[in-house]
Amino acid sequence: MLQEYMDRKYRTDNKPSVEANLIKNNVAIVGIGQTQYTKNSGRDELDLACEAIQNAVDDAGLKMSDIDGFDTFILDRLSLPMLINSLGTPNVRFSCEVSGGGGAGCAVAVHAAAAVATGQADYVCCYRSLNEASGHRYGRGDDFIEYMPVALTPNYGYIWPLGFVTPLGWAGVWGRRWMHEFNITREQLGWWPVVLREYAQNNPEATYFGRPMTHEDYMESPMIVDPLKLHDCCVNTDGAAAYIITTVERAKDLKQTPAIIAASAQCCPIEQEIQTIYQRPSISGLVETWYVGQELYRVAECGPDDIDVAQLYDPYSIGGIIQLEELGFCERGEGGKFVEGGDNIRIDGKIPCNTAGGLLSEAYLHGWNLVIEGVRQIRGTSYNQVKDVELSMVTGGPGVASSGIILRR
């Protein structure tokens, strides 16, 4: 992968044939559900998960007992047995926890889709529930033992005692290198959070609904981990979200317009532990996002110009903007210029991005809210609806094993 990336030459001769892909056009997201996104839910994460899952089941027009598979990604704190005991799903025969943290934001859908495409299960529920605002936030300096088994590696030992302990720092290092190599300015970075905040003003469920932000506000916000300012960073959210995956065939009997998966991809490249991608020949780009994009375009048989709207996993502005480059929405190193002024990522722009407000202004639900917004764009029910959406892209987080899907009508 790394060699293909360095050469910017995606090989198709060593990939499975598109015709053999069982997911393409055969699997769909048929139900979406969420709780309120708050700063202090006052409830536990299991409680929140039950509500979001019930909402997704109702939205699909299913019964809870129809759900026979569950899928999430690692670092989840609620116990699956407790969840099943609470929901009362009697026929669960598939469960999965995908690796990669936020990178698995879409890989969860990929694995669930594989399960329904191969008959492992009929209706898989993908769920996430977090009290990150009022409870424990992932990626804090003190979670090296309790919450992050991945941290028990030599790499973490090499960085923790040096004070290098949070995702903002890990990503800030490759972010600065990217800014340095391509002369990306602070002013340019600011347009990503500003446009996302604009979207959030139309989304009453967004954390930052009713709290607009100008580019000037952005520039004046404090620097948290230089090169990242406060408003470059995602919000903290209490809440839960869920969606349901089944076959297109079964979707015909259900309530909603299915969001059909035209392509799905996961990428686990070398040298990517917890975003410390520093041994790669180049750290000013993201092999995993490039690879996911290439594979999505190959399987869906389309290109970046065909994508009508995108939800890019953006725990910080730089993560969103570099993905624009790697997914081919602009040239490599041109991400700063591309977002300048904001028009290219606004609703009538070249590629409207994170139209519900994204992780910076809607909610930090580990990407579940991005998948849900990707589905809304297909259904035509977004608060910031792009006209005549044919193809809606969603990606997982950068700098780790990442993933993506393209949804179609």
Partner 1 sequence: MTVEYNPDQKIPHPAMWGVLYKSSTPFWEGVKNKKIMLQKCKSCGNLLNPPRPMCPKCQSQENEWITAKGTGKIYSWVTFNEAPHPAFKAPYAAVLVELDEGPRIVSNMVDVKPEDLEIGMAVEVTFEDVAEDLTLPKFRKAG
Contacting partner 1 within 228-247 (CB under 8 A): 228
Q: In this structure, how many other beta carbons lie within 10 angstroms of the beta carbon of residue 138?
A: 17
Amino acid at 85: N
136 is a site residue for partner 1 (CB under 8 A): no
Catalytic, 243? Answer no
137 is a site residue for partner 1 (CB under 8 A): no
- Look up tokens 């790697």; give the residue: 326
User: At its nearest, how many Å lie between partner 1 and the CB of residue 273?
Assistant: 8
Nearer Cβ to partner 1 (95/221): 221
User: At its nearest, how many Å lie between partner 1 and the CB of residue 57?
Assistant: 39
- Look up tokens 């809606």; give the residue: 392
165 is a site residue for partner 1 (CB under 8 A): yes
Nearer Cβ to partner 1 (225/360): 225
153 is a site residue for partner 1 (CB under 8 A): yes
Residue from 22, 80, 84, 224 that binds partner 1 (CB under 8 A)? 224
User: Between the CA of residue 83 and those of 60, 67, 160, what are the distances in Å?
Assistant: 20, 12, 34
The residue count for the chain = 409
DSSP H helices in 63-152:
80-87, 107-117
Phi, psi of 404 (to 5 degrees): -170, 160
Residue from 156, 191, 243, 364 that binds partner 1 (CB under 8 A)? 156
221 is a site residue for partner 1 (CB under 8 A): no
The one catalytic residue among 127, 313, 316, 383:
313
Q: What's the CA dihedral at 232, 277, 113, 27 to 10 degrees?
A: 60
- Which distant-in-sequence residues (6+ apart) come within 8 Å of 391 by Cβ? 262, 300, 302, 306, 307, 308, 406, 407, 408
Residue from 144, 298, 328, 340 that binds partner 1 (CB under 8 A)? 144
Catalytic, 313? Answer yes
Residue from 134, 155, 236, 385 that binds partner 1 (CB under 8 A)? 155
User: Between the CA of residue 125 and those of 20, 54, 69, 195, what are the distances in Å?
Assistant: 25, 10, 6, 31
User: Total residues at the site for partner 1 (CB under 8 A)?
Assistant: 40
User: At its nearest, how many Å lie between partner 1 and the CB of residue 159?
Assistant: 5
The one catalytic residue among 123, 127, 218, 364:
364
Across 102-133, b (16+ Cβ under 10 Å) vs e yields bbbbbbbbbbbbbbbbeebbbbbbbbbbbbbb
Applying CB under 8 A, the residues found at the interface with partner 1 are 140-142, 144, 151-166, 168-169, 172-174, 176-177, 180, 222-228, 270, 276, 278-279, 283
Active-site annotation, residues: 313, 364
